[in-house]
Amino acid sequence: MLLTPNFSLEQLTHSETAERERIDNTPAAEIVENLRLLARGLEQVRMLTGFPLEISSGYRSPELNARVGGAKSSQHTRGQAADFTCDEFGPPLDIIRAIRDSDIDFDQCILEYARWVHISFSAAPRGKVLTIYDPKEGYLDGLWDPGGKRIA
């Protein structure tokens, strides 16, 4: 089922871990509405980059989220977040800079381990940009390089 012209429910709920572990990752109706909001936001990001996004994680059922080590309060479990890359546009840091500097109303945009972008959308977007390299250190406000230097 298409949620927007370029994003389907299947794409935003697909999980290799769920398939392998036989975990039901079917969202409830109220979560599908959140996934529609997420898909609309992802459409804006796709238009900004000019290229398709490679979604690695979208909705996660609570069981799937626990299995992959996600935070208990993860927006993935509410259908509000997706992890993605867009190699044709550039590295995750460049993507986040472009999103940060755009007029896209996102909730959180996180540079995760310098390998992918985590983005979330909600009814009351906060526009938070964060970075994480080490789970023990946690999330850093703003953009940071792996050496601990803040990036403008």
* pLDDT digits 0-9 by tens, 77-122: 999 999 999 999 999 999 999 999 999 999 999 999 999 999 999 9
Sheet holding 54-57, edge to edge: 54-57, 81-85, 116-120, 108-112, 128-132, 140-141
What pTM does this model have? 0.95
pLDDT of residue 152: 72
Interacting residues of 33 by C-beta distance below 8 A, sequence separation 6+ = 79
Per-residue pLDDT tens digits for 95-106: 999 999 999 999
Please state the φ and ψ torsions of residue 54, each to the nearest 5 degrees: -95, 100
Which CATH number is 2-151 given?
Answer: 3.30.1380.10
